[in-house]
Structure 1
Amino acid sequence: MHPNNSEAIFDCRPNLLVDSVAASLRFYVQVLGFRAGWRWSDAEGRFLIDDEPDQPGTAIVGRDAVQIILTQKPGEHTTWLHLDVHTADQVDALFQEWTDRGARVAEPPVVRPWGNYEMRLHDPDGNVLRVSAPATGR
């Protein structure tokens, strides 16, 4: 599916909260045949390179047209959805639209250390919606 630039939301990547990103990466890659993508180290605040020790706080895996983000987080594991939009202006417009309608804002739009302009909202069940675009111009 090709993104239609007139529509803001063009993709969704589930963000699964896991006890161990390292164990989850092994399962998705070795058992399910996914490819490992980037790995982010919370401790170091940067992306890891391939030969670095397996210490990510977040990683992405993919197979065919599907991507899943794995985030290591202790405690309750609610679902996180990552909604991709084309521009930072669209993040701001959705933030305004949804807060005007009473959405619970977890974190207002901000440029994240990994280069995305992102906001986070909670649904009534506590699930998290992450909405992001490239931080170009921010």
Structure 2
Amino acid sequence: MPALTYTNIFTADIDRMAEFYGELFGFEENLVSRTPIFRAFFAGGTGLGFNAPDAYDLLGLTPQETPGDRVFQTFDVESQDEVRALTDKARDLGATIVKEPFTTYYGWYQSVLRDPDGNALRINFRGTPE
């Protein structure tokens, strides 16, 4: 079965985004893959990367010009308390809260945020409600 090795986010400021996610979740940076246009973190069995705009040319891609969410990241945590604590921490680090922590109709507990670049993300607990 194929495995997802990285999910990458394009950003004009890879240092700011790397600092935000690294500080928020305590992810360890994969220093071996650090370049002037890329930062990466080990993120629980996969990697989270940040690409500077120069990576578009390297990859043969063209930046999308139309607005709107196309993808968002979901980060699982160990408890509802951790969802609440990380949501508060994200706000302190410059995130915008879209939805405060809530229980979904399928029983998970999560918050929805936007990182400092405006990318959507969720902080999620999918265990038994407390």
TM-score between the two structures when normalised by the length of structure 1: 0.42
Q: Whose strand fraction is larger, Structure 1's or Structure 2's?
A: 1
Higher relative contact order (CA 8 A, sep 6+): 1
Q: Whose helix fraction is larger, Structure 1's or Structure 2's?
A: 2
TM-score between the two structures when normalised by the length of structure 2: 0.45
